[in-house]
Structure 1
Amino acid sequence: MSESVELFLFLEPGSDPENDRVVQDLGEAEALLAWVPDGAAAARVASEAVAAGVKLIELYRGFDLASAGQVIDAVDGRAAVGVAAFGFGTSTAHPIRDSATIFVGHPSADPARHRVVREHRGGGKTTTVSVPDSWTAVTVARKLVDDGAEVIEICGGTSLGVARAVAAAVGDRVPVSLVAWPVDSIERAAAFKAEFEAENA
């Protein structure tokens, strides 16, 4: 197993980040996925991960400005922190039960094999899928919504055009987000992107 340099945090009340975690094979890379009950736990997990070498963190499943801010404060510029952002007119005010996160752009990704489904003790689930390209992202998103996903979250290494195509494909059935990089993280995110592209050229 290669060194994990990415951390994906998912907000899920009642979760235990020490046990509710898995390393996902994304195709060309591996990432640590961890479920946290609140912003304070997310900040603790993020700080520990950065100390262990994680260079990029993405936040999913309902992080708001306050809880995302706790992670950014804890990381203190040592890694890029991206937050799932929704367009105006999109509401995720109700608790998220079934969410799906799509990682786009790993050329050898196979969505049937590079997939994690995490059932939650309180009901609901998180599904994460790695796909090689935008066409596959659209196809997978449609199927995930057909299977009950209430929100589709697109990873931060993906262009807005791909997220827009996914949103157009699912229409108004569910909200679609794209991880965005606040100004605190732009330089770190750009450095991570350049390093990733150099390693996979």
Structure 2
Amino acid sequence: MSEIVELFLFLEPGANPDEDRVVQNFGESESLLVWVPDGTAAAKVAAEEVARGVRLMELYRGFDLESAAQVIDAVDGRAAVGVAGFGFGIATARPIRDSATIFVGHPSADPAVHRVTRAHAGGGRTTAVAAPDSAAAAAVALELVGHGAELIEICGGASLLAARDVRAAVGDRVAVSLVSWPVDSIERAAAFKADFDAAH
């Protein structure tokens, strides 16, 4: 079994993080996706997974400053923590029902295979898809918007240019965000990327 080094947390009221989790296997590494009901649960999962060796995590589906800070406090500098920008001040205005997260840059990613769709008990869903490059990410985004996605979140491993290409593909139909790295996570995120690039 390959090593889990990435954790992706998705905020969803009513989620059970002990059950609402999926491992995506890319051969050379595995990524753990976990749905959490709030910042407290997210902080607990983050601390547990860092203790198991996770080096990088990203927060999706409406984490605000308070819930993101809970995760950062729990991690205590042991891993990089990135946050999808959509959550700041917007998520409280309208619940996120149907979101899509696109992980861009795994060379071995196949969007037809590396795809997880999770329906939520309260309605709505999250779709997480890995794409090898910007063009594939744009095509996936168009497909998902056509199937009802209201929000597209681009992973922190993607360049701003990939997010731009996705935005150009979907136009103004939905919000598109790109994970950002707070200054206290930049060095760890850069080290993670260097190791990832060296392994691929």
Deviation at 1:26, TM superposition (A): 4.2
Distance 1:184 1:38, change over 3 A: same
RMSD, aligned α-carbons:
1.6
Corresponding residue of 1:123: 123
Corresponding residue of 1:34: 34
Corresponding residue of 1:4: 4
Assess if the C-alpha contact under 8 Å between 1:12 and 1:61 holds in 2. Answer: yes
Gaps of 5+ in 2: none
Distance of 1:198 and 1:25 partners within structure 2 = 18
Which aligned runs of 4 or more in structure 1 are off by greater than 3 angstroms? none
Distance of 1:139 and 1:27 partners within structure 2 = 24
SS in structure 1 opposite 2:3?
coil
In the superposition, the TM-score normalised over structure 2's length comes to: 0.95
Corresponding residue of 2:77: 77
Count of aligned pairs between the two proteins? 199
Deviation per CA, 1:171-193, whole angstroms, max 9, x where unpaired? Answer: 11110010000011001101101
SS in structure 2 opposite 1:81?
strand
Corresponding residue of 1:145: 145
Deviation at 1:29, TM superposition (A): 2.7
Corresponding residue of 1:96: 96
Gaps of 5+ in 1: none
Distance of 2:174 and 2:78 partners within structure 1 = 34
Q: Which amino acid aligns with 1:40?
A: T
Farther off after superposition, 22-31 or 175-184: 22-31
Matched, 1:62 2:62: yes
Assess if the C-alpha contact under 8 Å between 1:91 and 1:175 holds in 2. Answer: no
Deviation per CA, 1:113-145, whole angstroms, max 9, x where unpaired? Answer: 110011111111110001111011111100100
Distance of 2:81 and 2:57 partners within structure 1 = 5
Q: Which amino acid aligns with 1:115?
A: R
